[in-house]
Structure 1
Amino acid sequence: MVNRLVGALKMADHLVILFVSVVIHVYSDREMPQMAHSIGFRAIVR
């Protein structure tokens, strides 16, 4: 039970990081490409 909950939390964490990096990526392509790409890259690596 607990393991399943932890697994779900980890999955949600990955999805949130992915979503945030995509949003940063899209937003930065219009605004400030260089900075956003490094931030998105760091989020994905983490």
Structure 2
Amino acid sequence: MITEAARAHRESLRRNLQHRLEVARAQGNDKLVRQIEAEAAYLHLM
């Protein structure tokens, strides 16, 4: 059973990764985009 705190924590992580991904894409930083996508996949967030 996932607690509400754990659920909120995962949502916070997901939002943070999404923001980092948007910034990296806006900057044209493809290497960082791939790194963030790999991090998200590892954490099963996106």
Common fold: TM-score over 0.5:
yes
More helix by share: 1
Give 1:35 deviation, angstroms: 1.4
Larger-Rg structure: 1
RMSD between aligned alpha carbons? 2.0
5+ residue gaps in structure 1? none
- After superposing on structure 2, the runs of 4+ consecutive aligned residues of structure 1 that deviate more than 6 Å are none
5+ residue gaps in structure 2? none
The percentage of aligned residue pairs carrying the same residue is 5
Aligned length: 41
| TM-score (ref. length: structure 2) | 0.65
Q: Which residue of 2 aligns with 1:37?
A: 34
